Every structure is written in C-alpha cells, then in structure tokens.
Structure 1
C-alpha cells in the first residue's frame, strides 16, 4: 500500500483532492479482499529486481526506454530477464529496460503513432487512461508532456508489470490504480481521457461513455479506440459466445454508429480520425507471452475473418469533447 499512500499525498494538493473521500477505502478493500493468489509471489519478484544505475537516461518520447545495454553485469542482466519473465504474459509494450527488450504481444507504439497526430497537446495536462493494461501508453502520455497521468485497470498482473517498469523509471507523476471505470466517482478533473480497446468489453457501452464523460473537465477531450464493423449509423454487430476467441465482446458498432452514440451522450466535435485493420506484425506471439495471438484467432483459410466467421478485427480512433 506504500505506493498508494504516495499517490494520496500527491492528489491531496492537486485538482484530484476530492477523490480522497472514496479512493482510500476502495483500495483498502481491494488490498484486503481481492488479491490474486500469485500476488505475494509477484511482490517478491518486484522486491528482487536490480536497482537502476545512477544517471540512467529515460526516453518516453520515441519509446519507453530506461538505461542502456551494459549498465548491468552479465549476471545482473540475466537475473533481470529471468525476473521480468515471471510477469508473463506481457501484452502491451514494448519496453526497453537496461538493454532488455520486452517484446510484448502488441506493438502498442503502432497505435500511439496513429493517434498522436490527432490529439490535443498534452503538455501540462491531467490525463486518465481507462483500461490501461500494463501502462505502456501512460509512459508515452508523460513523454508527450502530460503533468499528471493516472491509469486504471483492475487486472493485478498488469499492476505488477507497471510497478516493475516504474521500479526503473521512478516517475511519481505516472500512476496505475487497480480499479475499473465503474468504481470511479464523477471526478470531472481530467483534461484528456483515453479509453482504448475497452468499449467492446462493456455490457452497456452507453453507460460506459457517460462514465468517461464524467471524468473530463468541461471542454476536455475523449480519445476512444475500439473495434468497429462496416455499415451505416444503425449497424452494430453483437457476436455470439466468442469473437476472435474472446468471450467478453459485446458490441461492435460501425464508425457512423459510434459517432452517433457519442453525440447521443452529449459529446461535441465528434470525429473518427483513423481506421486500421489489425495486422499480424502489430499483434503476434512472442517469447514474452506463451499464449495464442492474432494468427490463432483468424480463419486459417481467410484472414479477413475471425475463426468464428465474423469480420476480422478492424479498429478506429474517435475524438470528441465534453
């Protein structure tokens, strides 16, 4: 809980101070009642990580990198690699830690490169990332100039992966909390809210959009990325039990339908700024995941379809204002 205590001290003196009325109790309940069975083992792994060398350079603008190859002895480097692999599967990245390339399943830098030209300048901004995974994009937001970055994701392994990277970068302005969006009060405190790869996992996408809106300051910017299908403003795919082998996929709207949903929820200046078919070089199996990946989710005879026969994953980025 020490890390959270530091977060409490930070927000006590910034625009998120009103969150202190509910957040400590929520995180105390999480710590007392919801810890994963592997949590203590993961914590021991964190505690065993080597210490970053003094003066190590950090690059968050073009990648997520700390230090250089050669900062550690050969034995220290091998220990670092073995310890970081205990946090598999690594989904989002990549990360470069003192010469160690954590080659994650997703090339999340590709997504960042697609959206970065379209978003508002993050310099000096308070930024929230909903469903942030291990926090790769949190670091890129900080590298883009954000003053204070908060990610929320209830998956405890992702928290541990974030803490492992944070161990080396050590930036108190970047934080990850093990919460879901439904646990957030109406903070109305963030200049930009990101929600990428989350909407299709929500049983009620309209409620989700209102939850995102409630976190923004007036005029703040929403950056939403989600799976879409082709069609008009009334087209929405509701898959069966699975979509691309995922059980928790509920609604895949067309781009026009997604824009209509955002407008119905009261967002303004709604626009779709990018459409991209997920490629096999962006999501793929690596030695850092040990599980299936995109190639296994597609029809082996027709990569334009999922293994269930639905249209293959196509993603779009939407930007709107409160």
Structure 2
C-alpha cells in the first residue's frame, strides 16, 4: 500500500515549509519501499476496509472526537470497532469515533492539560511534534488553532493508527494535520516552525545534546520548544544512566535532573528556560486497557515500594520545560 502524501506536499508548497520539498518526497518514497514490518500488509488491508462515515460534529478543543453515535449504522459501528482493534496496541489517546471510545494505554489528554497552559498561542502557527506516536497531540494542537500541525514518527503501526483516525476528519482539517514516517535524524535544518514539541523522546536518544540541537534547528528565532521528558531529583550535575532497563524499557539512556536539563538547553542555544510542570506518573494515567492489553506501569514498579521501578531506580517523574531559540 502506498500512502498518498501529495495533498500535504501541495499544502506546504506555499507555506514557510516549502524548502522541505527539496528532500521530503524522496525520503517518504524511500520509506514506502521499505515497509518491512511483517504485519504492514495486513494493517494496510484493514485500513482500506474501514467503513465510510461522515462526522456530523468535531471536537478537537476538549478531546479528539469525530462524529456521534447517530452518524453511523449499528453494523458499521461494530465493523469499525473490530477493525480498529486490529491496530492494537493503542498507546496514546484517547480517541472518540462516533460514540466509540478508544481507551488507550496513556491518558495523553492529561498530559495535554498540563502542557497547554504554558504554550505560546498556537493560533495560525506552524507546529512540529517530534516523536508524536499515533498523533493524538497533533489533533489537540489543531484544536488550539494551529495553522498546520505536523508530526514525525517512523513507527509503522503509529502511521496506520493515525491514518485510521484521519480518515474521519473533515477535509479542511485533514489538510492541516499530517504525520510523516520520519525520524528526527531525517530532518533538514528547516528553522521555520513557531513551536516544536518533543514529548517522551529525549530519554530514548543516545545523544541528548545532539537531539536538543536538532530540535533547535527546526525553530525560527524566538520560536518555542516544549520539552516533556523523564527526570530525576538532583542538582545541575545529576544524571541517571540505567545499567540496562528502566521501568522495563531497554532504550532509556539519560535521565537528567531538571537543573541539568536547563543547563543542557542553555548550552544548546536556548533562552527563557522554565520548568513549568513536574508530575509523578500514576497507574491511572498509564495502564493496560482493552485497547492495550500488554503490561503497563503497574507491572514496571516495585510492588513493595512504588516509589521505585522494578529495577530499583526512582519511579517515573516527568517534567515539562519550555524554552525559546536564541
């Protein structure tokens, strides 16, 4: 299955993102040829089978909601639910489609509620979300007024989940919200986005300083970075590097203190750096559901002392930090 991005290319041709067209179409075409995941063919078939339904209403300001129950015939509703469950596990959400709730592992709406009060106005802004998963926050960014909300994530299942949700968005909204199958290393130095989000990515990067520089290179002068990541308590020299796994995750490299992270940001060319939120992740915010039946946070904490991970490290503490490009 070839995913058609031609409308997106046409959309950015007359926008500040136009220079991206020098590299983007070839990168996407190369990705289209590499679809290596064994389930990709089945996911593509499932995507084509989704029923055609027009939403009578949309709410992106308070949730990600397309349509109401009366928009869809009962048989199509059952078909839609069965097909969408073939895209499990659903990690980030929730989504509401025609009265059906996709109850994802993460209550990403709770994270958005913590982040949103600290944002520059997104009205008519060009926004980038690096490592956006299935794109939940892209829809919320559009609901907050973004002119364009662009996400990047190389995960093939995430792309399919996003396309399943996007299918039910009105055309005017669809043209302004897109998820591209790229990683941050694939981005040229665009230096045009008004706001760059990176939520839940930094600790997965082997070189956090390089990653923060890559985030800076996407922002225009004085553009806002919104960084959400795992942190530890400590001074500006405190950084945790797990011996192996952290909360059962293999690909966790550096967990700095907020003071250390602010130092990193200053060294990487940011100013006006503020820690605007600290939140201990709860088992109500991250948990197994009917849409994500694997192990979740409760399984990753020490059952005798939930202030620690199962490996003995401090339990997940997440910070939101905002900064501006110098």
Work out whether the TM-score is over 0.5: yes
Q: Tell me the equivalent position of 1:278.
A: 281
Q: Tell me the equivalent position of 1:315.
A: 318
Show structure 1 runs of 5+ residues with no match: none
CA RMSD, Structure 1 to Structure 2 (Å): 0.9
Taking the aligned partners of 1:223 and 1:4, their CA distance within structure 2 comes to: 27
Native 8 Å contact 2:3 2:32 kept in 1: no
Q: How does 1:260-275 map to 2 (within 5 A)?
A: 260-275=263-278
Q: Tell me the equivalent position of 1:109.
A: 109
Q: Does 2:234 correspond to 1:218?
A: no
Taking the aligned partners of 1:165 and 1:76, their CA distance within structure 2 comes to: 15
Residue 43 of structure 1, CA deviation: 1.2
Q: Tell me the equivalent position of 2:252.
A: 249
Residue 2 of structure 1, CA deviation: 4.9
What SS does structure 1 have at the residue aligned with 2:229? strand
Residue 233 of structure 1, CA deviation: 0.3
| TM-score calculated relative to the size of structure 2 | 0.97
Q: Does 2:241 correspond to 1:238?
A: yes
Q: Tell me the equivalent position of 1:162.
A: 162
Residue 69 of structure 1, CA deviation: 1.5
Native 8 Å contact 2:246 2:311 kept in 1: yes
Q: When the two structures are aligned, how many residues end up with a matched partner?
A: 321
Q: Tell me the equivalent position of 1:153.
A: 153
Q: Does 2:26 correspond to 1:25?
A: yes
The farther-off stretch of 298-307 and 37-46 is 37-46
Residue 71 of structure 1, CA deviation: 2.0
Residue 73 of structure 1, CA deviation: 2.1
The counterpart of 1:174, out of the listed 172, 177, 180, is 177
Q: Does 2:269 correspond to 1:295?
A: no
Q: Deviations over 1:283-315 (max 9, x none)?
A: 001000120000000001111000000000000
Q: How does 1:59-138 map to 2 (within 5 A)?
A: 59-138=59-138
Show structure 2 runs of 5+ residues with no match: none
Q: Deviations over 1:30-57 (max 9, x none)?
A: 111244221221111111111123x510
